[in-house]
Structure 1
Amino acid sequence: MIEMDWLVSHMQHSDRLAQWLYEQFSYEYAGQSLGEWQAEFADGQTNGDWLTLIAHEHGQLLGSAALATNDLQQRADLGPWLACVFVAPHARGRGLAAELVARICAAAQAQGVERLYLHTHDRQDYYAARGWTALESFQAWGSSHCLMARDLM
């Protein structure tokens, strides 16, 4: 049975998840080593920077989504952010990403967050189909990206 819980209660998965994210979104970590990102990500579970929800089954990590304070340096005026959405290849096609995103939105709303932001370079249609609105396009990391938002209240 798939379970979802906060990473802070399962820190044995932190380094592996940080590595998956580092590999999947490598363009974002060009100036940072894997070890530095793993330390930042682990610290973010307790300091509030990267509150991460994970999906796991029988002790095996399946995926994640995070409520981040700042996920886009050039737009530090915005936040909080949906970030770190990732499902391991062997676990895809089971609706995990949609469920993780929905739970992050619910957690943010429970904290009184009125609007949540995200950025994507290739999943705009996926998020638009789930209630996210494109706000603007921008160039970063050598490609075009889309800034999106979802009103929660």
Structure 2
Amino acid sequence: MPQMDWLENHMDHCDLMAEWLYREFNHEYAEQSLAGWQQEFAEGQRDGRWKCLIATEHGQLLGGASLASNDLPERPELGSWLACVLVAPNARRRGLAAQLIEDICCHAGEAGVTTLYLHTHNQSDYYARLGWEVLERFEAWGKRQYLMFRSV
């Protein structure tokens, strides 16, 4: 059974999680090196900018999701963000993403956050099934994006 815990308690998984994110969302990191992102992501565990909840099983990283202070620099007026949601291909179809997302939402609510935001280019239907609503559509990184929100 997978265990959920904060990445800051398992920093040995930090570089791998950052690498997975870098490869999956490469359009967002076009102007940043992998090493630069790994350093930023690690620092973000310490200062809270990218507070990541991870799922592990038998010591293996399965995936994660982050509570980010700002995941869309063009929209600094928006509050906290659900970001960096990714489950390894061999661990998918087990409900891990939904559990990670729900746990991040619960944590955010306990911290006094009332609304979370996210952006996605290809998973808006999935997030809608989890209670997220489209706020607007926009273009970024050469892709049509959905800016979504959810009350927590």
TM-score category by the smaller chain?
over 0.9
SS at match of 1:21: helix
TM-score (norm: length of structure 1): 0.98
Question: Quick one: distance in 1 between partners of 2:35 and 2:130?
Answer: 34
Residues 37-75 of structure 1: CA distance to partner in whole angstroms, max 9, x if unpaired?
000000000101000000000000000000000001111
Alignment of structure 1 residues 1-153 onto 2, 5 Å: 1-152=1-152
SS at match of 1:73: coil
Runs of 4+ in 1 over 4 A off after TM superposition: none
Residues in 1 aligned to 2:134 and 2:93: alpha-carbon distance in whole angstroms:
25
Q: Which runs of 5+ in 1 are unaligned?
A: none
Identity across matched positions, percent: 59
Q: Provide the rounded CA distance (Å) in 2 between the counterparts of 1:91 and 1:52.
A: 18
TM-score for the superposition, normalised by structure 2 = 0.99
The one-letter amino acid paired with 1:40 is: E
1:80-120 C-alpha deviation (Å, 9 max, x unpaired) = 00000000000001000000000000000000100000000
Instruction: Note the C-alpha offset of 1:79.
Output: 1.8
Instruction: Please report the RMSD computed on the Cα atoms of aligned residues, expressed in angstroms.
Output: 0.5
Offset at 1:130?
Answer: 0.8
Question: How far is 1:146 from its partner?
Answer: 0.3
Opposite residue 38 of structure 1, the aligned amino acid is Q
- How far did residue 143 of structure 1 move? 1.1
Amino acid at match of 1:9: N
State the AA in 1 paired with 2:61.
Answer: L
Which blocks of at least 5 consecutive residues in structure 2 are unaligned? none
CA distance in 2, matches of 1:28, 1:77: 20
Give the distance between the partners of 2:79 and 2:11, measured in 1 at CA: 25
SS of structure 2 residue aligned to 1:23: helix
Structure 1 distance, partners of 2:58, 2:51, is: 22
